[in-house]
Amino acid sequence: ERISDEFKSFLDSGIYRLDGSKVVFVDPVRLLNDSYSRFRISPSSYYSRSFQSTDRRRVVEEVNVPSISKKKRKRKKTPRDLNEREKSAEKRHQEARSLLLKAHRAFLEAAELQTFLPKLVKCVEFSRGGETEEKNFIELGSCWQAPLYEIGLCFPKSNEGEDSWLANHVGRTVVPLFNNLISHETNDEVEAEFNNSQYILPGRSCFYMSDLRQIRNLIPAKSDQGFNLIVIDPPWENGSARQKAAYPTLPNRYFLYLPVKELAHAEGALVALWMTNREKLHMFVEKDLFPAWGVTNVTLCYWLKVKPDGSLIGELDLFHHRPYEYLLLGYINMENIDSECMPAVNLEDARVIISIPGVHSRKPALGKLLWDHIPGNKPVKCIELFARELMAGWTSWGNEPLHFQDSRYFVEK
């Protein structure tokens, strides 16, 4: 069967453009694989979340005839008047709704993509490691021994083909694991070892594992050494007790003190902020957080979550469990951004990102999607705050940036 150029390019890049590019379907595994040469992300460990499948006919029907009967039922169920916040949440949802339905329809109409989806998530493979229990860096970093923990970085020998352990592990360096900027300049992956677990560090990656209190150590000495892309996925408080196990959360006011402005490059920085659906949060970001960080020219994008069968992970109109989240894009030091190198200041073509979600709260990597909109001279500098993984050439900060670097999440090429 003939495959389209778009699909061919998707197999390579992980990005499939739909609906005149306003909608993209992404495979986060392929996006991440850009960071690796000797290893690959294990699809079965990424797509480990299981979903109840929906009847395909219903999927298509739902998107074409958004069920009126259901809406009627719901209206009957909530006769009380909505309060102000609920009203404004509903308004926000209605704005998103038709755009998301249209995006979902375009995605379902991409037949070659639909046929391929089950294969995307079901792969037979043997991942590396995983014999030992996964480390809880959040706990380790907050105990009194934290300053004593060390990680060993094993730099591969450049060319000689000797096969002995020694030849492959020359240049082993041991450095403190917490509250320490750990970086390496090797273009290839570097393998690291901590307490009987193996970690894969992508080429030229850099990380700082610490609590929020130490984040100021990342502020560059000069503002022309700052970052051109700042991706932030804060541990927002959720309100639901269900979520509490995955990681600790922080009250909103803490984020006001994140030194985002100080991390930004003097010539301009693109800020990408992930956001959940809570209405309180939207008001906070708009009125307090972005002004405090100096973020302007904000564009709204959506992340729509689908199952491997193409259906949404939840009903679009369910009030508390929307199948989408928000991604806000904005700029810092906008006045210094050279319009020549920044033609597309309004990010009109990146409105909806569709993907099959991995484990709780794991977001698709944004570097490639945002590439054309990052201000500054190449090579640009990119940082992720509250990261749980590393990327080639990026700096990652958080209290567990090594989490998904455990070798259990990788297969050897």
In the complex, the residues that contact ligand SAM under the rule CB under 6 A are 138, 211-212, 233, 235, 247-248, 250, 361-363, 386, 388, 398-400
Q: Alpha-carbon distance 220 to 225, whole Å?
A: 6
CB 388 within 8 A of CB 362: yes
Nearer to ligand SAM, 267 or 394 (CB): 394
Nearer to ligand SAM, 114 or 243 (CB): 243
Which among 3, 6, 29 has a CA at the least distance from the CA of 17? 6
- Give the pairing type, strands 181-183 and 206-209: antiparallel
- Give the pairing type, strands 324-332 and 197-201: unpaired
Residues 6+ apart with CB under 8 A from 26: 14, 15, 16, 353, 354, 355, 364, 369
3-state secondary structure 253-268: HHHCCCCHHHHECCCC
Q: Alpha-carbon distance 389 to 383, whole Å?
A: 11
Nearer to ligand SAM, 247 or 319 (CB): 247
Nearer to ligand SAM, 373 or 403 (CB): 403
The torsion angles phi and psi of 64, rounded to 5 degrees, stand at: -85, -40
Q: Alpha-carbon distance 372 to 341, whole Å?
A: 9
In the complex, the smallest distance separating the C-beta of residue 79 from ligand SAM, rounded to whole angstroms, is 36
In the complex, the smallest distance separating the C-beta of residue 399 from ligand SAM, rounded to whole angstroms, is 4
In the complex, the smallest distance separating the C-beta of residue 388 from ligand SAM, rounded to whole angstroms, is 4
In the complex, the smallest distance separating the C-beta of residue 402 from ligand SAM, rounded to whole angstroms, is 11
Sign of the CA dihedral running 75, 279, 99, 353: negative
Residues 6+ apart with CB under 8 A from 301: 326, 327, 328, 329, 347, 350, 351, 352, 353
Nearer to ligand SAM, 268 or 330 (CB): 330
In the complex, the smallest distance separating the C-beta of residue 228 from ligand SAM, rounded to whole angstroms, is 19
In the complex, the smallest distance separating the C-beta of residue 360 from ligand SAM, rounded to whole angstroms, is 9
In the complex, the smallest distance separating the C-beta of residue 322 from ligand SAM, rounded to whole angstroms, is 16
Length of the chain: 413
In the complex, the smallest distance separating the C-beta of residue 325 from ligand SAM, rounded to whole angstroms, is 10
The torsion angles phi and psi of 34, rounded to 5 degrees, stand at: -55, -25
Nearer to ligand SAM, 305 or 388 (CB): 388
In the complex, the smallest distance separating the C-beta of residue 89 from ligand SAM, rounded to whole angstroms, is 21
Residue 58 parent element (H or E): helix 56-64
Nearer to ligand SAM, 7 or 247 (CB): 247
Question: What does the longest C-alpha to C-alpha distance in the chain come to?
Answer: 75
Contacts by 222-226, CB closer than 8 A, 24 or more apart? 223/262, 223/264, 223/265, 223/266, 224/265, 224/266, 224/267, 225/265, 225/381, 226/262, 226/263, 226/264, 226/265, 226/266, 226/269, 226/381
Nearer to ligand SAM, 45 or 333 (CB): 45
Nearer to ligand SAM, 400 or 406 (CB): 400
Amino acid at 131: E
In the complex, the smallest distance separating the C-beta of residue 400 from ligand SAM, rounded to whole angstroms, is 5
Nearer to ligand SAM, 103 or 275 (CB): 275
